[in-house]
Structure 1
Amino acid sequence: MRSTRTVLAAAAAAALALSLPAAASAASAPPPPQEWSTQLGAPFSIALDGTRVYVADGATGTIGQLQPDGQIAPVVEGIPGLTGLAIRGASMAWGSSVEDGSTEPPVILESGLNIRGPKGTTVYADLHAYEVANNPDAASTYGITDPNPCVVEATGGAPLSYTGLVDAHAYNVASWKGEWLVADAGANTVMRVTDSGRISTLAVLPPVPVTLTAETAGMLGLPACAAGDTYYVEPVPTGITVGSGNTIYVTTLPGFPGESASQGALWQVDASSGTVTQLVSGLSGPTSAAVKGKDVYVAELFGAGVTKVTDGAASPYAALNGALSVAVASNGTVWAATMDLTGGPGTIVSIAKGKVHVNGNIVR
Structure 2
Amino acid sequence: MRSTRTFLAAAAAVALALSLPATASAGEEPPILQEWSSQLGAPFSIALDGTRVYVADGATGTIGQLQPDGQIAPLIEGIPGLTGLAIRGASMAWASSVEDGSTEPPVILESGLNIRGPKGTVTYADLHAYEVANNPDAGNSYGITDPNPCVVDATGGAPLSYTGLIDAHAYNVASWKGEWLVADAGANAVMRVTDSGQVSTLAVLPPVPVTLTAESAGMLGLPACAAGDTYYVEPVPTGITVGSGGVIYVTTLPGFPGETASQGALWQVGTDGSATQIVSGLSGPTSAAVKGRDVYVAELFGAGVTQVTGGTASPFAALNGAVSVAVASNGTVWAATMDLSGGPGTLVSIAKGKVHVNAALVR
Quick check: TM above 0.5?
Answer: yes
**1:118-129 equivalence runs, <5 A:** 118-129=118-129
Amino acid at match of 2:348: V
1:252-291 deviation line (CA, Å, top 9, x unaligned) = 00000111221000000111x1100000000000000000
- 2:167 corresponding residue in structure 1: 167
- 2:25 corresponding residue in structure 1: 27
1:192-234 deviation line (CA, Å, top 9, x unaligned) = 0000000000000000000000110010000111111000000
- 2:39 corresponding residue in structure 1: 39
Are the aligned partners of 1:11 and 1:260 in contact in 2 as well (CA < 8 Å)? no
* Unaligned runs of at least 5 residues, structure 1: none
* Unaligned runs of at least 5 residues, structure 2: none
- 1:348 corresponding residue in structure 2: 347
How far apart are 1:340 and its partner, in Å?
Answer: 0.5
For 2:128, what is the secondary structure of its paired residue? Answer: helix
Q: Give the Cα separation in 2 of the matches to 1:76 and 1:315.
A: 36
Q: Give the Cα separation in 2 of the matches to 1:237 and 1:166.
A: 15
- 2:107 corresponding residue in structure 1: 107
Q: Give the Cα separation in 2 of the matches to 1:130 and 1:65.
A: 31
Deviates more, 1:110-119 or 1:28-37: 28-37
Amino acid at match of 2:292: G
Q: Does 1:293 align with 2:281?
A: no
For 1:259, what is the secondary structure of its paired residue? Answer: helix
Q: Give the Cα separation in 1 of the matches to 2:46 and 2:21.
A: 24
For 1:241, what is the secondary structure of its paired residue? Answer: strand
Q: Give the Cα separation in 1 of the matches to 2:260 and 2:74.
A: 34
- So what's the TM-score if we normalise by structure 2? 0.97
- 2:270 corresponding residue in structure 1: 270
How far apart are 1:163 and its partner, in Å?
Answer: 0.1
Amino acid at match of 2:115: I
Amino acid at match of 2:218: G
**1:150-161 equivalence runs, <5 A:** 150-161=150-161
Amino acid at match of 1:358: V
How far apart are 1:26 and its partner, in Å?
Answer: 4.5
How far apart are 1:341 and its partner, in Å?
Answer: 1.2
- 1:59 corresponding residue in structure 2: 59
Are the aligned partners of 2:21 and 2:32 in contact in 1 as well (CA < 8 Å)? no
Q: Give the Cα separation in 1 of the matches to 2:295 and 2:302.
A: 16
**1:1-364 equivalence runs, <5 A:** 1-12=1-12, 24-27=22-25, 30-271=30-271, 273-364=272-363
For 2:228, what is the secondary structure of its paired residue? Answer: coil
Q: Give the Cα separation in 1 of the matches to 2:55 and 2:350.
A: 16
Amino acid at match of 2:66: L
Structure 1 runs of 4+ with >3 Å offset: 22-26
Amino acid at match of 1:215: E
RMSD (Å) for aligned C-alpha atoms? 1.7
1:173-192 deviation line (CA, Å, top 9, x unaligned) = 00000000000000000000
Deviates more, 1:30-39 or 1:256-265: 30-39
1:320-351 deviation line (CA, Å, top 9, x unaligned) = 01000000000000000000111100000000
Q: Give the Cα separation in 1 of the matches to 2:265 and 2:9.
A: 20
Are the aligned partners of 2:31 and 2:353 in contact in 1 as well (CA < 8 Å)? no
How far apart are 1:23 and its partner, in Å?
Answer: 7.3
Q: Give the Cα separation in 2 of the matches to 1:25 and 1:42.
A: 29
> Identity percentage over the alignment?
87
How far apart are 1:30 and its partner, in Å?
Answer: 4.5
For 2:216, what is the secondary structure of its paired residue? Answer: helix
Amino acid at match of 2:25: A
Q: Give the Cα separation in 1 of the matches to 2:159 and 2:302.
A: 34
How far apart are 1:24 and its partner, in Å?
Answer: 3.7
How far apart are 1:27 and its partner, in Å?
Answer: 2.2
Q: Give the Cα separation in 2 of the matches to 1:39 and 1:11.
A: 22
Q: Give the Cα separation in 2 of the matches to 1:229 and 1:360.
A: 55
Q: Give the Cα separation in 1 of the matches to 2:30 and 2:306.
A: 12
Q: Give the Cα separation in 2 of the matches to 1:184 and 1:307.
A: 22
Amino acid at match of 2:206: P
- So what's the TM-score if we normalise by structure 1? 0.96
Deviates more, 1:222-231 or 1:23-32: 23-32
Q: Give the Cα separation in 2 of the matches to 1:44 and 1:24.
A: 24
Q: Give the Cα separation in 1 of the matches to 2:58 and 2:270.
A: 30
Q: Give the Cα separation in 2 of the matches to 1:282 and 1:74.
A: 37
Amino acid at match of 1:174: A
How far apart are 1:25 and its partner, in Å?
Answer: 4.2
Are the aligned partners of 1:7 and 1:259 in contact in 2 as well (CA < 8 Å)? no
